[in-house]
Amino acid sequence: MLLAVAMTAGAVAVGGDGQDAARALPGVSRAVDAEVLLRGDLDTAIRSLQTHVRQRPRDFGAWATLGLAQVERARTDGDPSRYARAERALARSLALRPGNDRALAGQAALAAARHDFAAALDHADRALERNPYSERALCSRIDALMELGRYEEAARAATVADRRRPGVPVFTRYAYVRELRGDVRTARRVLHQALADASGPADVAYVATALGNLERGRGRYGVALRHYARALAADDAHLPALEGRARAQAAAGDRAGAITTLEQVVARSPLPGPLVALGELYEDRGDRAKAREQYALVDAWTALARAGGVDVDLDTALAAADHGDTAEALRAARAEWGRRRTVHTADALAWALHREGRSAEALPYARRATATGYRDAAFLHHRGMIEKATGHLRAARASLTAALELNPGFSPLGARAARAALKDLEAAR
């Protein structure tokens, strides 16, 4: 999920009604689309837009762009309080110009950021009724369908978006749709095409990071690190690239370098993914006290996120299953499965059930998580451990071997557990 959330935090695009928001930055021509503003420095864009709407409070386009900018900033700095500011700005835009597609597309992005993907889909569809070429709405529609587990529809939506608004935001989503269906070759080709088409530093950093994540997931750590280096050369503060580099460093054996990099990430954006990754690296080196501090920070972030209207059940399930209250992990995973049935929620529910000692119930969900063709070493590890617990020993050997062959450093603790389980299985033959 967090990979899915990082993917949608790149270049923001808005389409449709007028160009008034382009005046928000000094010296910017009205002819420049508002999406260009949001592909630069978000803090500068937000400050300039705030000044602009104070001076021209009836500029509905600027209010919509400000709302989108707040959504994107929240995604990058991990501050869920920004979502309320985004909501107010978008509501103001709609009050000034009811039904304008920019604000509707912004509401789709906000709903997706809060993990309300059904609402995101509804807002995106309404925006596209107004403006079928709204890049932001086209992209939000793909995101929502993927996060609802409606993969065939997401693939069709990606094809439509590619026909209407080909470009970096659409290409990256198209690539992810292909990856979820097991077509890594096409995903890689499309991302390379997107990188060739990327012009600004933000787009280069975004696409290069996506390529790094793809290659890291395949165990190609040297290639991944080169992509992250390119991303950071374009934008040395790009947090997803820093996190990806840290994970690749850890997988390649540079645990000290990985810890240093992740400490930089969580100091600026204490999101669950990097917090858990850093905690596991501390735990791996025997520093359990520091590890517990990181896991506690996950709980603190989820409380803040809930207060900001974010559905955090998947984050809770993933973190708590291994590093917290397994009963709470199961409750959260069941709640999330009730809302959306993706490979990620299937894996989370399977693992939560297993950790609660209910492996027989877990097995169908673990199989479902790996049924689309999507290849993820953590999913294979979870499936293998569940198969081992349920007596499917041959299948367990196959799943655990596949996990370690695909990405031998997928997790410092998970990979160690997979190797130990395989050793036990071999000894029992």
Q: pLDDT value at position 109?
A: 95
The tens digit of pLDDT for each residue in 186-229 reads 999 999 999 998 988 989 999 999 999 999 999 999 999 999 99
Neighbours of 292 (CB within 10 A): 14
Q: Which tokens sit at 97?
A: 């110009």
Q: pLDDT value at position 38?
A: 53
Segment 375-398 mean pLDDT: 97
Alpha helices in 235-374 (DSSP H): 239-251, 255-268, 272-284, 288-307, 313-323, 326-339, 343-355, 359-369
Distance CA 118, CA 276 (A): 28
| Cβ pair 332, 306 in contact under 8 A | no
Q: pLDDT value at position 76?
A: 76
Whole-number percent of the chain with pLDDT over 90: 78
Q: pLDDT value at position 75?
A: 80
Residue type for position 1 = M
Read out DSSP for 344-405?
Answer: HHHHHHHHHHHHTT-HHHHHHHHHHHTSSS---HHHHHHHHHHHHHTT-HHHHHHHHHHHHH
pTM of the entire structure?
A: 0.86
Q: Which tokens sit at 65?
A: 């762009």
The tens digit of pLDDT for each residue in 243-254 reads 999 999 999 999
The tens digit of pLDDT for each residue in 285-337 reads 999 999 999 999 999 988 888 888 888 889 889 999 999 899 999 999 999 99
Identify the residue with better confidence: 145 or 35. Answer: 145
Q: How confident is the model at residue 5 (pLDDT cuts 50, 70, 90)?
A: very low
Segment 160-184 mean pLDDT: 94
Q: How confident is the model at residue 16 (pLDDT cuts 50, 70, 90)?
A: very low
Q: pLDDT value at position 40?
A: 59
Q: pLDDT value at position 32?
A: 27
Q: How confident is the model at residue 26 (pLDDT cuts 50, 70, 90)?
A: very low
The tens digit of pLDDT for each residue in 30-81 reads 322 455 455 557 888 899 999 999 999 999 999 999 999 999 888 877 788 8
Q: pLDDT value at position 207?
A: 96
Q: pLDDT value at position 304?
A: 86
Q: pLDDT value at position 382?
A: 98
Say whether pLDDT at 6 is over 80: no
Q: pLDDT value at position 118?
A: 96
